[in-house]
Structure 1
Amino acid sequence: MSNIRVEKQGRVGLIGLDRPKAMNALNLDMIRDLDAALDRFQTDPDIHCVVLNSANERAFCAGGDMRRVRELVLEGQFEEAETFFREEYALIERIAGFAKPFVSLIDGICMGGGMGLSVHGTYRIATERAVFAMPETAIGFIPDVGGSYFLPRMPHQCGIWMGLTGASVRGFDAHGLGVSTHMTVAESLPQILDELCNSRRDLEDIFSDLCATLGYQPEVLMLAETTMCFDQPTLCSILDCLKQYQTKSQNRALEALKSASPRSLQETLTLLRNGQERTLSECLKQEYEAICLAIRHPDLAEGVRAVLVDKDHKPNWSS
């Protein structure tokens, strides 16, 4: 049974993520079904744009199915795990260069692979319930799916902060960082989808009428104080800087760094610093090289156990 709903509605190729019990966590079959859907819509002259949404309001997509990745790792099936990431990254690169507008309607949790599917597309319409995060260092992994491309390009070192600490953003913060292109309320999503499917109007006009967008206004971005320490060159200097302040947000960042995998933190900082000067394709290549090492390191299996399997949140890091 497929966890992807694919249908043609008017001028829209609609793809719905539908794996509710796993909060739409992506597995290899879903990646391949998504790719097949793009094959279908790319060649259909009646399709004006592709819309990706979720069949449930709790989550847009909670990321890749890391429980399954852990199972493969424990079984020594590293090639199958690598296949998942290789095909996922190829799908992300395809979305980024897709010839037709790619629209994500984001309601609920959007983490890891969910950000990979959406942030590289043309439009990201986020509701008041949308929550964005890259929480991989907490499970002994790295912020991949092009994270080394889009995170270091965020203003005020916010992407470095998100990638290292796993912190979440929503609302005006997510919009100011460029994670969403437009904001709306959840109750407006059916009307937006109907307009996209059945109206002949330009997409920009539809979003202008039915969504809110403030553009890039760094002066209203209140995250700058929280993330000021993340311009430091090393993990040690970031930690030292955070220890000098007693604000709640910086204390939360400090605690997150202390609880994350030391190896993952170092690898993440290196990837993000290098990614600032690289293309998306180059970033995905460096991430793939990094995940081939990460899945063979014991911190990944231990981190997934602690956070997603046993949920005791007490990982015993080997690094």
Structure 2
Amino acid sequence: MTDTVLTRIQGGVGYITLNRPKALHALNLPMCEVILTALREWRDDPDVHVVMIDHADGTRGFCAGGDIAMLRESGMSDGREARAFFAEEYRMNAAIKAFPKPYVAIMDGVTMGGGVGLSVHGSYRIATERTLFAMPETGIGLFPDVGGGWFLPRLRGELGTWLALTGARLKGSDVAAAGVATHFLPSELVPNLKAQILDADFSAGAAELLGVILKSLTHTIPAASYAEHHALIDSAFRGDRAEDMVAALEASDSDWGQKQAALLRTKSPETVKVALRQVREGARCETFEENMRMEYRIGWRKVQSPDFIEGVRAVIIDKDNAPAWSPARLEDVSDADVDRYFAPLGADELSFD
């Protein structure tokens, strides 16, 4: 057992509380195992009508991602520990997506990478002014996993492509405006929301009652701060060639567009192309499980890629923010370089047992 994630049942609600504050509640394998076990038990438990996931009171963040240092260390050896983590995390993501009862995620704070996987696939996602969402993986040579291939291309227009490739951050109500969260409320009302959930009788009509509670507390979602750039996002980030996207942004007369192009040029070129292919393939997937098998194929190989090892060194370990990507330019990443990440794994394909 682990005390880094706490589970309990009270008043018909199954509670999952992330409790690894020194790491901003970043996920590791034992945490994923506890969460997945709880979801499997509660799925058919008649005494559990709603599930709520949050982080320990008085701590920062919701969930900053996964244990990146472990993934790098594993990738520098045989990759087995990293692959075991991905397998359990992706099964957990699939269990959240398929959960038949209301699943409430309170995204009050940093919600990145693995934290997105814990929340975005659930039925109710609550953002506050403290929410900070991002899928920043292209900046460390990884890829926007935990179901990014599924939910990102299903956002409005090419919004998900922009988020996947640039790692752009969304704050506060913008997280709800994008469709990543379903509701927005001030953080000062989170205790009130939790109290009402604790006091409610969800034994009949749980989804309807939860809807009433949320409607009474959440605020109207304002227009997104990036709304004026929607047209450029949709025109520049269409298609299947990252080089064309950068060129379109550089050719625009928008300062914002120029900044996006410059940002893309700082990311791992190989990973940008892998992420683009992932988003396009994910849009064509017919089931969530199909998408997660694709992502497992990518993750299986990506943890041992030179760009991931180098990206984590530059951004997280040495913090010099000067990764030496290989290849160094988008134009030098071949189709074959990308294709190899998507090749079937045979007997090692992800299972959901």
TM range (shorter): over 0.9
Aligned to 1:79: 80
Aligned to 2:218: 211
Aligned to 1:221: 227
SS of the counterpart of 1:59?
coil
The one-letter amino acid paired with 1:68 is M
When normalised by structure 2's length, the TM-score is 0.85
Q: Shift of the alpha carbon at 1:197?
A: 1.6
CA contact (8 A) 1:11 1:196 kept: no
The one-letter amino acid paired with 2:106 is L
CA contact (8 A) 1:57 1:108 kept: no
The one-letter amino acid paired with 1:227 is I
* RMSD of aligned residue pairs (Cα, Å): 1.9
Unaligned runs of 5+ in 2: 203-208, 328-353
- Which of these residues, 57, 60, 64, is aligned with residue 58 of structure 1? 60
SS of the counterpart of 1:233?
coil
Aligned to 1:152: 153
When normalised by structure 1's length, the TM-score is 0.94
Q: Shift of the alpha carbon at 1:311?
A: 1.0
- Which of these residues, 292, 311, 319, is aligned with residue 319 of structure 2? 311
- Which of these residues, 65, 68, 71, is aligned with residue 69 of structure 1? 71
- Kindly tell me the number of residue pairs found equivalent between the two proteins: 317
Structure 1, 233-242 or 4-13: larger mean CA deviation: 4-13
Q: CA deviation digits over 1:247-295, x for unaligned, max 9?
A: 3422331122111111101111111111112121111111111111211
Q: Shift of the alpha carbon at 1:198?
A: 1.2
User: Which structure 2 residues correspond to residues 168-207 of structure 1 after superposition, within 5 A?
Assistant: 168-200=169-201, 202-207=209-214
Q: Shift of the alpha carbon at 1:223?
A: 4.0
- Which of these residues, 262, 270, 275, is aligned with residue 268 of structure 1? 275
Identity of aligned residues (%): 39
The one-letter amino acid paired with 2:298 is A
SS of the counterpart of 1:231?
coil
CA contact (8 A) 1:173 1:221 kept: no
Aligned to 1:38: 39
- In the alignment, structure 1 residue 112 sits paired with structure 2 residue 113: yes
Structure 1, 22-31 or 240-249: larger mean CA deviation: 240-249
Q: CA deviation digits over 1:209-252, x for unaligned, max 9?
A: 0112449x89x934404523111431111011011125342233
CA contact (8 A) 2:103 2:122 kept: yes
Aligned to 2:344: none
CA distance in 2, matches of 1:302, 1:14: 38
Aligned to 2:104: 103
Q: Shift of the alpha carbon at 1:12?
A: 1.2
SS of the counterpart of 1:124?
strand
Unaligned runs of 5+ in 1: none
Aligned to 1:135: 136
SS of the counterpart of 1:313?
coil
